[in-house]
Amino acid sequence: MRRGLLIILSSPSGAGKSTLARRLMAWDPNISFSVSATTRAPRPGETDGREYHFRTRAEFQKMVDAQQMLEHAEVFGNLYGTPKAPVESALMAGYDTLFDIDWQGGQQIRNSGLGRDVVSIFVLPPSIAALEERLRGRAQDSDDTIAERMAKSRDEISHWAEYDYVLVNHDVTQAENELRTILMAERMRRERQPGLADFVRGLNSEAGGRQ
């Protein structure tokens, strides 16, 4: 059994990472989504434990103090973080975990004790105009919130070079296919196949017995 992967998917808000995350999990049911904890209020239709673990600021800080968070950050006045225990359990069981997080969270995970298991992908929009159009098309945020997200996008985009892979989301189907290719290649890396050394020793033994 191979060890699982931690797939970090980041982008400025509106570039399509959430859509790509859903498509990737539909393609492979063995990929589990890391459900973050947050102090923001639930949006219409969101359920505690599905989209997020909704917590008060005091509850969130208690988890941080107890070192129960793999990463955490404050974004737009709300706290977001990844509970550590379910991620470690999935990793040891050979399941891949997908993270829909920003560059701050990705940096913390890469610098953690689980950094060797990380595959990080940054998703860029085809243009800034397309980014704003997608944000407005979601009809979830006020004009002030959209303006705030657009202002923050420049800082987020500046961190693209910190990632292993960078995709430009011109077309969501093409981007999804590129994500699949990345994942399949990363799963086949030599160091992620723990039984490979024993298999090769068996081949060598078999070859020696035929000489």
Q: What is the pLDDT of residues 119-128, one digit of tens each?
A: 999 999 989 8
Predicted pLDDT of residue 75: 83
Handedness of CA 85, 86, 90, 96 (dihedral sign): negative
Question: pTM for this one?
Answer: 0.81
Predicted pLDDT of residue 92: 87
Predicted pLDDT of residue 31: 94
Please state the three-class secondary structure of the chain as a single string.
Answer: CCCCCEEEEECCCCCCHHHHHHHHHHHCCCEEECCCEECCCCCCCCCECCCEEECCHHHHHHHHHCCCEEEEEEECCEEEEEEHHHHHHHHHCCCEEEEECCHHHHHHHHCCCCHHHEEEEEEECCCHHHHHHHHHHHCCCCHHHHHHHHHHHHHHHCCHHHCCEEEECCCHHHHHHHHHHHHHHHHCCHHHCCCHHHHHHHHHHHHHHCC
CA–CA distance, 89 with 113 (Å, rounded to integer): 14
Which architecture does CATH list for 6-34+95-200? 3-Layer(aba) Sandwich (3.40)
Predicted pLDDT of residue 52: 92
Residue 12 tokens read as 């400025």
Task: Give me the torsion for CA of 13, 40, 35, 12, rounded to 10°.
Answer: 10
Predicted pLDDT of residue 139: 66
Q: Which stretches of the chain drop beneath a pLDDT of 70?
A: 138-141, 209-211
Predicted pLDDT of residue 184: 95
